[in-house]
Amino acid sequence: MTALAEQRPAPADDASDEEGVVRQEARPEELRLLEALLFAASEPLDEAKLKERLPEGVDVRAALRALQAEYAPRGVNLVRVAGKWAFRTANDLAWLLSKDVVEPKKLSRAALETLAIIAYHQPVTRAEIEEIRGVSTSKGTIDVLLETGWIRLRGRRKAPGRPVTFGTSEAFLAHFGLDSISDLPGLEELKGAGLLEGGLPPGFSVPAPSDDPGLREDEEPLEPGDLDLTLGPPAERIESAGEGAGEE
């Protein structure tokens, strides 16, 4: 018995005995039994089962309703699931029970190429990227790059079809350890690094990139709806884009 008393968490050091009596009188014992049963149950319990377990004469339905009301404002609610009763984490606290797990991913070759073209040739439209790459760019590639947070929609080109223009973000600079976009190596440096070898055709050039946030003369601002339209799965994308953009 002493062991049992020890087990009980000390409610409040002062006058706990007298206290306990008062409160237990105020709250019917069946609510204690009910909450213990529902807490420990490994599956939702129906009223018949609860009635069977509780002492005779308990109005199970009334007790359930009282308990439900008591727990309604709490972090754990008493809910009815398919006619049975169970404690569940309050709906608005679902976020507490999810944990972000970082999943390392590598960019595909196509995505790397597209990213590089956006970096060097920004502001650049999808059609222009395709022109440079010589192959069409799948929507998925652009979506992945948007997900990385390394590219961003800059505006729209003042041209027929008003295509969206892409540029790099600050997160891009941060990830690749660049102080500014002009730190991207130019033609001579690429050659020096052995990345561009052999005879290059005359007139071959590598642009001097600029990620100036101000729109160019041939660009116009995005409209409010543009962000939603252009992107892939909305919820996830916005979240991860937000993470990337958070750096700015």
Partner 1 sequence: MTAEDQPFEAQQAAVPADEPALIVDVEGFEGPLDLLLTLARQQKVDLTKISILALADQYLAFIEAARKLHLELAADYLVMAAWLAYLKSRLLIPTTGESEGPSAADMATALAFRLRRLEAIRAAAEALTARPQLGRDFFARGMPEPVTAVKRPEWSATLYDLLSAYASQRRKALARVRFAPRTVWSLAEARAVLERLVGSAQDWSRLDEFLIAYVVEPSMRATVFASSFAATLEMVREGHIEVHQDSAFAPIYVRKRVASDAPTGDGHAPMTAANDQ
Return the residues of window 209-238 that contact partner 1 according to CB under 8 A.
none
Q: Is 49 in the site for partner 1 (CB under 8 A)?
A: no
Fill in the per-residue mask, 162 to 181: x = in contact with partner 1 (CB under 8 A), - = not in contact: ------------xxxxx---
The pair of structure tokens assigned to 161 is: 């079809």
Tell me 182's DSSP state: G
Residue 128 binding partner per list a second copy, partner 1, none, with a CB distance cut-off of 5 to 8 Å that depends on partner kind: partner 1
> What's phi and psi for 7, nearest 5 deg?
-60, -40
Which residue, 45 or 144, has its beta carbon nearer to a second copy?
45
Residue 135 binding partner per list a second copy, partner 1, none, with a CB distance cut-off of 5 to 8 Å that depends on partner kind: partner 1
Site residues (vs a second copy, CB under 8 A): 3-4, 6-14, 16, 19-20, 22-24, 26-27, 31-37, 39-40, 53, 68-69, 71-80, 87, 89-93, 96-97, 99, 177, 183, 185
Dihedral angle computed from the Cα positions of residues 181, 187, 193 and 195, in that order, rounded to the nearest 10 degrees: 100
Secondary structure element (H or E) that encloses residue 125, with its range: strand 124-125
**Closest CB 129 distance from partner 1, rounded Å:** 9
- The residue within the footprint of partner 1, chosen from 26, 103, 179, 224 (CB under 8 A), is 103
Q: Is 248 in the site for partner 1 (CB under 8 A)?
A: no
- The residue within the footprint of partner 1, chosen from 104, 214, 224, 225 (CB under 8 A), is 104
In whole angstroms, give the CA distance from residue 122 to residue 187.
Answer: 17
In whole angstroms, give the CA distance from residue 109 to residue 118.
Answer: 14
The pair of structure tokens assigned to 212 is: 């100036």
**Closest CB 142 distance from a second copy, rounded Å:** 27
Pick out residues in 26-45 that bind partner 1 (CB under 8 A): 36, 39-43
In whole angstroms, give the CA distance from residue 105 to residue 220.
Answer: 34
In whole angstroms, give the CA distance from residue 162 to residue 62.
Answer: 65
Counting Cα atoms < 13 Å in the Cβ hemisphere of 219 gives 20
Q: What is the DSSP string of 30-81?
A: HHHHHHHHHHH-SS-B-HHHHHHHSPTT--HHHHHHHHHHHHTTSSEEEEEE
- The residue within the footprint of partner 1, chosen from 161, 214, 224, 225 (CB under 8 A), is 161
Count the Cβ atoms, other than its own, within 10 Å of residue 210: 13
**Closest CB 103 distance from partner 1, rounded Å:** 5
Residue 188 binding partner per list a second copy, partner 1, none, with a CB distance cut-off of 5 to 8 Å that depends on partner kind: none
Which residue, 62 or 138, has its beta carbon nearer to partner 1?
138
Which residue, 22 or 116, has its beta carbon nearer to partner 1?
116
Tell me 180's DSSP state: S
